[in-house]
Structure 1
Amino acid sequence: MTSHTPTGASRHYVLAAGGTGGHLIPAFALAAELHARGHHVALITDERGAAIPGKPDFLTAHVLPAGRFGKNPLGWPAGISAVLEGRAMALRLFEAFAPSAIVGFGGYPALPALLAATAAKLPSIVHEQNAVLGRVNRLLAGRVDAIATSYDKVDRLKPKHAHKVRLTGNPVRAEVLALRDKDFPAFTDESLLRILVTGGSQGARVLSEVVPDGLAMLPPALRQRLQVTQQCRAEDLETVRARYANHDIPAELGTYFEDMHERLADAHLFIGRAGASTIAELTAVGRPAILVPLPIATDDHQAVNTREMVKAGGARMIRQDAFQPKELAKQIQAMAMNPASLANAAHCAFNCGRPDAANDLADLVESMSGIDLMDVIRIGEGAHRAAQATTRPHAATRKAAKDAVNHGSDA
């Protein structure tokens, strides 16, 4: 893993991200890297994002109106109005903060900031965490200078924008990245099999319903060696605890684990959803997984996120409609009955990791303001543009905001 010392050229950068962990975790990681290089960084997000845990102390959050475009056309005028208001506020921030570049991480809160960057003729980048280009990033693809991706292949990316693509990977938290230098936990025919189970607020229930019964169906020689840590919804805790007790399987349950990175370090196998940050952390550390994509994820992006890791042999994917106890037991048995198979899957997951993502993304960001770029990133012509204070007519921004309606109801 490479790291860079401060360049001596202190600059200002603005990061813009939706208010979910999937958008903000990589934004925080980039902010930390830019800060370490001696730059000043500000964040544009929504109220959820400003309150989310993990924000670095040095990072000032600015809450801007973003607007959302749902399926009901009656709500579109309000969404467009909010985007325009957010754009105006972002322009005032840019005038005061004088950023050298704007970086968007997807989600509707990034839209006003990136539209303002276009209006002010500031260099701009979007970072896509998923293997499918998100709706806001699709809307902005033609306007930005570069599109940083987390996967070598990204669906819904138009060929005419391919020259803007830079493969950087998806930055992860520093405490997770530090685990990459540690060996996969020893696993033998006699040792414990430590399983980590997590799911987001929308996904934990199906895991709570299926995983305990699936683990109970494993052969006795494997079932008797289980040690489970599982994140559950508060309302499901007692039910899940009773299921594990009935199966005589040791399990530690909780609604939230502050030391999740330590639990990931100890885990031999992960079972859970396939969000972008989850995949990035599993591959950064090298942990085999059984992934159950959230079926209502926009553009089925969680299923597409699993493509690289599954192809490499580091994970198995089970669609939710097929995620039944018997199928789960079958897949666990295939991975864990032979210790060498599990270790090999861990190695395959490790090889999918992109541990230099934060560094490479920071290199790309710096290149937009005239600082030399590392050879690992390709830069297209016209990427280095000087920041100017001029603005464009509101009509162009109004049209872009209306175009968001045609890209669907979620970012």
Structure 2
Amino acid sequence: MTKHYVLAAGGTGGHMVPAAALATELTRRGHHVALVSDARGVRFPGLFDGIQTHVLPAGRFAGGPLGYAKALREMWRGRAMARQLYRDARPAAVIGFGGYPAMPALLAAFAAGIPTAVHEQNAVLGRVNRLVARRVDAIATSYDRTERLPERLMGKTHLVGNPVREAVLALRSRPYPLLEEDGIFRVLVTGGSQGASILSKVVPAGLAMLPPAFRRRLQVTHQARIEDIDAARALYAEHQIAADLATYLPDMPEQLAWAHVVIGRAGASTIAELTAAGRPAILVPLATATDDHQTANAREMTAIGGARTIPQSRFTAVELAKQMQKLGLDPVALENAAGRARSIGRPDAVSDLADLVESLDAPPARLPVPRRQQKAAFA
């Protein structure tokens, strides 16, 4: 039976990628889907092609009393716009993926009696999801343990994992790249969609401290910020390390396919992709992440032996070189680490999430019929 669903997500990649994966799966199942986000979210290239998108105002609670007052006004205005959208579209359910832009859509759904769920990508329940957790009908999580999720809500909590792109999921069927004792050792360095300056400073210097025989084997692909890329390129060249640098890697799944080890942040999408593909990593959690959620994200993968985590305060060239030698000088141990990373991947995340969404049976419509019939938002 064809239904209409609204997906509400904040404008960052961590929220938008799983929302896009669910949109694709629900559309494949014959449903109609619309996205509610902010101006940033609807501009992500290629994620929501063919999906109706709606920009709603949503304030961010910051800046003291005046900032809070402005945010509340924007939230209320966004809620009113979402209610009008629901009158036209009659969604079966509204699914939130976190971020302040998801809040107006969920508030409108509560007022309209529309079933709701939220998906949490991180190992710590995010602020918006914490605010609405008590009122939603279901909570989908990505980790066995989710901090700041009240015990009393476990009855409606479902572990599904964090959906990843199909191109990344396809890597599960490909073996870990062959690593011969004297062969090329491929390193992928990525700091997320915005890059990470500390990686551009520490990684070239750390790799330069490796034994010459190991250093000569390296082939580095490094995503860097535009303001850091020239300095990082010069460091690699100075130490004769083969390296390709770019501010954006459009073929990230293919880069991940050939990587022997990944050095990067511990964002939710990064962890999900590493465990889906089965790639060992050296993780440097973002020190300023809200509630230190990146450190929490890295714990499961680190505990099982699929990654090594270095706090940003201790992420130095010396420490990186030490960890790289431990990983790279034992091909068997490295392949075992890849297998451990893969063992905690959740390849059925998007299917399980779609099943959960479909189970949110919509009650009979409780909204008043518009005085003037308008074209449905999902037509």
Q: How high is the TM-score relative to the length of structure 1? A: 0.88
Measured after TM superposition, the shift of residue 201 of structure 1 is 6.2
Q: Which amino acid aligns with 1:38?
A: G
Does the alignment pair 1:132 with 2:115? Answer: no
Measure the CA separation in 2 of the matches of 1:98 and 1:15.
13
Match of residue 49 from structure 1? 41
8 A Cα contact 2:13 2:193, kept in partner: no
Match of residue 388 from structure 1? 366
Runs of 4+ displaced beyond 3 Å: 200-203, 384-387
Does the alignment pair 1:367 with 2:359? Answer: yes
Q: Which amino acid aligns with 2:307?
A: A
Does the alignment pair 1:339 with 2:337? Answer: no
Measured after TM superposition, the shift of residue 388 of structure 1 is 2.4
C-alpha distance after superposition, 1:183-230 (max 9, x if no partner): 110012111110000113665110000000100111222111000000
Q: Which amino acid aligns with 1:87?
A: R
Measure the CA separation in 1 of the matches of 2:302 and 2:215.
25
**Which of 1 and 2 has higher RCO (CA within 8 Å, sep 6+)?**
1
- Which secondary structure does the structure 1 equivalent of 2:40 belong to? helix
Which of residues 20, 26, 29 in structure 2 aligns to 1:34?
A: 26
- Could you list the runs of 5+ residues in structure 1 that have no partner in the other structure? 1-8, 370-383, 392-411
Which of residues 345, 351, 362 in structure 2 aligns to 1:353?
A: 345
Measure the CA separation in 2 of the matches of 1:241 and 1:100.
51
- Which secondary structure does the structure 1 equivalent of 2:334 belong to? helix
Match of residue 290 from structure 1? 282
Measure the CA separation in 2 of the matches of 1:202 and 1:386.
44
C-alpha distance after superposition, 1:263-313 (max 9, x if no partner): 011100000101000000000000000000000000000010001100110
8 A Cα contact 1:123 1:387, kept in partner: no
Over 3 Å counting, the alpha-carbon distance change for 1:316 and 1:387 in structure 2 is farther
Q: Which amino acid aligns with 1:308?
A: E
5 Å-filtered alignment, 1:12-411, equals 12-200=4-192, 204-369=196-361, 385-389=363-367
Measured after TM superposition, the shift of residue 387 of structure 1 is 4.5
Q: Which moved more, 1:296-305 or 1:158-167?
A: 158-167
Q: Which amino acid aligns with 1:162?
A: M
C-alpha distance after superposition, 1:301-337 (max 9, x if no partner): 0010001100110001001110000100111111111
Measured after TM superposition, the shift of residue 17 of structure 1 is 0.0
Over 3 Å counting, the alpha-carbon distance change for 1:295 and 1:202 in structure 2 is farther
Match of residue 380 from structure 1? none
- Which secondary structure does the structure 2 equivalent of 1:83 belong to? helix
Measure the CA separation in 2 of the matches of 1:343 and 1:92.
54
8 A Cα contact 1:203 1:294, kept in partner: no
Measure the CA separation in 2 of the matches of 1:366 and 1:294.
35
Q: How high is the TM-score relative to the length of structure 2? A: 0.95
8 A Cα contact 1:119 1:390, kept in partner: no
Measured after TM superposition, the shift of residue 71 of structure 1 is 4.4
Over 3 Å counting, the alpha-carbon distance change for 1:186 and 1:386 in structure 2 is farther
Q: Which amino acid aligns with 2:18?
A: P
- RMSD over aligned Cα atoms: 1.3
